[in-house]
Each structure stands twice: as structure tokens, then as C-alpha cells.
């Protein structure tokens, strides 16, 4: 039996028009709520409406398997579709934010219950105490640690 706890996924950015039917099926298969945890359960019609309006699609599930949407995430990565995922901490699992912007990698970062990225104190002190870096390089490295490029805001859905 799997652990189940709250998770939220947002989907946006460029989406190939030719996979629209498949995408809608994958989203509906999650059984998640649209827009918030107490919202309406996602249906084919509600997903199509949200897509046509060019909005970011937000799905919430307070009983997500291990705090994720595994099949949907895999589908999105295989198709290069952008998304953000947040799952709450639960028992021995830490909270997490996952970012995907169509490249070859997912960026997974520890997060608070409110979705704020958490940075380890040791990571900061290691950078600041690194004698092989000048101050400019330390600042660059800290900036990438605090605001990774993959965390740029998700764009609304647009068809390509």
C-alpha cells in the first residue's frame, strides 16, 4: 500500500496541438480536483475549457500517491510539456518542488508546506567558504542556488 498525501501540479507553456486528446485523457485519469483541493473533479470538458482559455492548468489531490502524479508526470516529460509540482511533507518524506521546462532534466528541490524552496545552510556556507572562488563567482553560484533558472514562472498554455 502506498502513502498518500497532498500534491499539486501546474501545467503550462507550449503544448503540441497534435497531442491534445492524449493530454486530456492523462489529466482526467488523475482523478484530481481542478484549481484547488475542494474544487470540481477534473472532467474532459473542464480540461478542454481550461486549455482553450489559455490558462495554466492546476490539479490538486489531497490523496496523491507518494505526493505525485506519476503517470501524468511521465507523459509530460516524454512530450516536453512544462510543469511545476509541489508535494507536502508527510511522515518521513520531505516537502518537494519539482520543475520541468522541457529540457532533459527535472529539478527537484526541498520545499516548505507552503511551497517555498528550502536551501541547506551547509550549501550556503560551503560556497561562502570556498577559497577557490572570487566574490563574483560566489555571488553567481549563490544566485543559481537561490533562484535556479528552471524555477522561472510557468507560462500559460499555448498551442504550437
Segment 1-54, tens digit of pLDDT: 468 888 999 999 999 999 999 999 999 999 999 888 777 788 999 998 888 888
Classify 159 in phi/psi space as left (phi over 0), alpha (psi -120 to 50) or beta: beta
* For range 104-124, the mean pLDDT: 89
Query: Residue 124, exposed/middle/buried by CB under 10 A (0-12, 13-18, 19+)?
Result: middle
Quick one: pLDDT at residue 89?
80
Query: Taking the domains of the chain in order of start, what are their residue ranges?
Result: 4-159
Cell 524555477 found at: 151
Quick one: pLDDT at residue 126?
95
More confident residue, 117 or 155: 155
Amino acid at each position: 500500500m502506498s502513502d498518500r498525501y497532498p500534491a499539486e501540479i501546474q501545467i503550462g507553456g507550449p503544448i503540441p496541438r497534435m497531442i491534445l486528446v492524449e493530454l486530456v485523457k492523462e489529466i482526467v485519469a488523475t482523478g484530481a480536483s481542478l484549481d484547488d483541493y475542494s474544487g470540481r473533479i477534473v472532467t474532459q470538458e473542464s480540461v478542454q475549457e481550461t486549455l482553450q482559455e489559455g490558462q495554466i492548468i492546476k490539479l490538486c489531490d489531497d490523496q496523491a500517491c507518494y505526493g505525485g502524479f506519476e503517470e501524468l508526470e511521465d507523459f509530460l516529460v516524454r512530450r516536453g510539456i512544462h510543469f511545476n509540482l509541489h508535494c507536502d511533507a508527510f511522515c518521513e518524506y520531505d516537502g518537494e518542488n519539482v520543475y520541468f521546462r522541457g529540457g532533459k532534466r527535472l529539478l527537484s528541490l526541498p520545499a516548505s508546506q507552503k511551497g517555498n524552496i528550502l536551501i541547506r545552510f551547509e550549501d550556503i556556507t560551503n560556497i561562502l567558504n570556498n577559497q577557490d572562488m572570487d566574490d563574483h563567482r560566489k555571488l553567481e553560484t549563490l544566485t543559481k542556488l537561490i533562484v535556479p533558472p528552471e524555477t522561472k514562472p510557468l507560462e500559460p498554455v499555448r498551442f504550437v
